[in-house]
Amino acid sequence: MDRIEEIRSRVALHEYGIDNVHTTDFPGNYAGYDDSWSQEKFEKNFRIDVKKLDGDELEFDMIGIDAAIANAFRRILLVEVPTMAIEKVFMYNNTSIIQDEVLAHRLGLIPIRADPRLFEYRAEGDMEGTAEDTIEFQLKVKCSRNKEAKEATAPDEMYKDHKVTTKYLKWVPVGNQSEIFTEGDIKPVHDDILIAKLRPGQEMDITMHCVKGIGKDHAKFSPVATASYRLLPEIILTEPIEGERAERLQTLFSPGVIQLENRKGKKRAKVVHARRDMCSREVFRHDDLKECVKLNRVRDHFIFSVESTGILPPDVLVCEAAKVLMAKTKAFLTELQDVEIGGRKDA
């Protein structure tokens, strides 16, 4: 790799700084390189590789794009993919020690398993809601003493219904929802989220309305627990490192990054899995090793980690984020065309 190509495609990590952090998204930055955007070139270079899909966790590589596009995906996942969440809380009775306002906030943050694509946004000012835009839950529970546990001292034995969890939330179909959904289709993502603790005589009688929204309006609508990315690490050994130095070098990186090979009776360090490294730059603290290692990040190779709250699978969330980005792009192009047409008329 020549010097210009290295500057253009790698972010270099040094002991006291980072080089080559600027974008290549502007043509003319590098002599001899045409960095102008074209659909043909984008389709040739762009690809997505799914590395792990396990339950609510997804890890995939997005290759051949600029950081601005990668960050757009991250931000859309966090705040612009819609979900259903509790918005209106009607307190008919709450004698627990938790104030109504705090309890309503706790209820709002409970992730609700309901496909938001099957619902509409509720009209502004509408307090009742319809089957097309509202999901209703009811929480009705009263704590009582367990008369059979006369000598018990543990609360779980002394009281009945004293731990109010999300399993107590009962879905109440609105309109014809019972004909469209089954009881398993709409419920809290987890049944064991603790809402409050009660003591004998305390009770709750609450009705809740779930509506469709996005994380930009409130964090409770965010469909992900986390969505982040990092650049692919690249570790280059500029000279053979053997013996004690190789063993020490192995300890300076994340587990699995450096492997020791047996070469003519000596242990020699070899980079086998740079992807696992977190780029701590610990190697630069060792004077006899820091000149033997080059740490880079590949500029257009992004490792995405997406963890869903359980409302929708993470792979579905990524697809929905792509749809949101496409809709934004189309709207922007339409605005540009309108401005261009308006300018011609004024001329």
The pLDDT profile of the chain, 347 residues, written as one tens digit per residue, is 777 778 888 999 999 999 888 776 666 667 777 777 788 888 898 999 999 999 999 999 999 988 889 999 999 999 999 999 999 999 999 999 999 999 999 999 999 999 999 999 998 888 888 999 999 999 999 999 998 888 888 989 999 999 999 999 999 999 999 999 987 889 999 999 999 999 999 999 999 999 999 999 999 999 999 999 999 999 999 999 999 999 999 999 999 999 999 988 889 999 999 999 998 899 999 999 999 999 999 999 999 999 999 999 999 999 999 999 999 999 999 998 888 777 666 65
49's tokens: 């590789």
To the question of pTM greater than 0.85 for the whole model, the response is yes
Q: Give the CA dihedral 51, 52, 57, 61, nearest 10 degrees.
A: 0
Contacts of 223 (CB under 8 A, 6+ apart): 77, 81, 82, 83, 215, 308, 309, 311, 312, 317
Q: Which one-letter DSSP state was computed for residue 167?
A: G
Domains and CATH numbers, the chain: 3-79+226-234+293-306 (3.30.1360.10), 83-221 (2.170.120.12)
Residue 58 CA neighbour count, 13 Å, CB half: 24
d(CA 185, CA 175): 16
